Amino acid sequence: MSTPPMVDPLESLARGNVRSVWEVLEAMSILMRRRNEGLPLNLPQVTLYLRSGREVTGLIREYGEFRQGRGVLLITSGGYGSHGEGLDVTFVPDGVIEALTLHEATVLDAPAKSMPESSPMHLRRHLPALADTLSSAWGSKVAVELGSADELESEAHIQPLAWLVERTGEVLAKLASTPDVGDVLRERVRKVKLSVGDAFGARLSEGTLGLTTSRRPAAWPLESELARAVMDTLP
């Protein structure tokens, strides 16, 4: 059984689809949570326009229900990359928000600088290393290859593949050591094929476990999501 594709909550934002203020706030809150869970995300700042005529600019920390009611927590100083000194967090209730501006939304298209820069040569060296890691975990030979011969020709694929390669080694080695799940993996998987596409997904067919990651960092899989997707493919 293939895993349903994971949805990037801001995939179509700034690409023509109209969204409400509340949908954008919720999406930004999801992305902040994913960044806190380990994704190397650049997050755009948001300006909230209030009914009083005031404006508040910062990063969305969280949107939802609080003791004071429904609203948004906004990091209004320090922000991305800060070490916490002088960090201010402002609560803005739902009822006073009239509109918003999402600044430079295209920063979502590239991973944060905290992620080491990769290259085609780096990936070519790491594929055999990944195969060795999995073969050791399986106790038998496991092949690792890219989804297509020209996968590394696109510069936009390098960082997504680098993220997927690292997560795949960690997740599959851990699953292989798990009772029952490990036995099924050893029985069913002889090859792992890695690729970049429109969305994250996993598929097992004729001994090949195909793992696809999205081009957009916001929809790259966390380790927990990759593990769940792999297990969902198993009979």
Reported as a single tens digit per residue, the pLDDT across 24-83 is 898 899 899 999 999 999 999 999 999 999 999 999 999 999 888 899 999 987 544 444
Q: Express the helix, strand and coil content of the chain in percent, nearest 5 each.
A: 40, 25, 35
- Decide if 185 is inside a domain: yes
- Decide if 181 is inside a domain: yes
* Residues 169 and 143 grouped into a single domain: yes
Q: Which of 45, 75, 108 is the last residue of a domain?
A: 108
Cα–Cα distance measured from residue 219 to residue 139, given in angstroms and rounded to the nearest whole number: 32
| Range 79-88 contact pairs with CB under 8 angstroms and sequence separation of 24 or more | 79/45, 80/42, 80/43
- Decide if 115 is inside a domain: no
Overall number of domains in the chain: 2
- CATH number of the domain residue 43 falls in: 2.30.30.100
Cα–Cα distance measured from residue 15 to residue 28, given in angstroms and rounded to the nearest whole number: 16
- Decide if 153 is inside a domain: yes
Q: Which residues pair with 58 in a beta bridge?
A: 46
pLDDT at 8 (0 to 100):
53
| Percent of the chain's residues with pLDDT above 70 | 88
* Residues 126 and 32 grouped into a single domain: no
Lowest mean pLDDT among 17-21, 44-48, 219-223: 17-21
- Decide if 8 is inside a domain: no
- Decide if 4 is inside a domain: no
Cα–Cα distance measured from residue 43 to residue 154, given in angstroms and rounded to the nearest whole number: 24
pLDDT at 18 over 90: no
* Residues 83 and 153 grouped into a single domain: no
* Residues 78 and 158 grouped into a single domain: no
Q: What is the mean pLDDT of residues 126-132?
A: 96
- Evaluated on CA atoms 48, 50, 53, 54, the torsion sign reads negative
pLDDT at 4 (0 to 100):
42
pLDDT at 91 (0 to 100):
93
pLDDT band at 17 (very low <50, low <70, confident <90, very high): low
pLDDT at 84 (0 to 100):
47
The residue segments making up the domain with residue 44 are 21-108
pLDDT at 15 over 60: no
- Decide if 134 is inside a domain: yes
pLDDT at 13 (0 to 100):
55
* Residues 79 and 131 grouped into a single domain: no
pLDDT at 11 (0 to 100):
57
* Residues 102 and 127 grouped into a single domain: no
Cα–Cα distance measured from residue 80 to residue 59, given in angstroms and rounded to the nearest whole number: 8
* Residues 98 and 74 grouped into a single domain: yes
On whether the CB atoms of residues 217 and 40 are closer than 8 A, the answer is yes
* Residues 154 and 193 grouped into a single domain: yes
- Decide if 39 is inside a domain: yes
* Residues 104 and 125 grouped into a single domain: no
* Residues 221 and 124 grouped into a single domain: yes
* Residues 126 and 164 grouped into a single domain: yes
Mean pLDDT estimate for the chain: 88
* Residues 134 and 83 grouped into a single domain: no
Q: Which of 79, 108, 137 is the last residue of a domain?
A: 108
Q: Which of 108, 142, 166 is the last residue of a domain?
A: 108
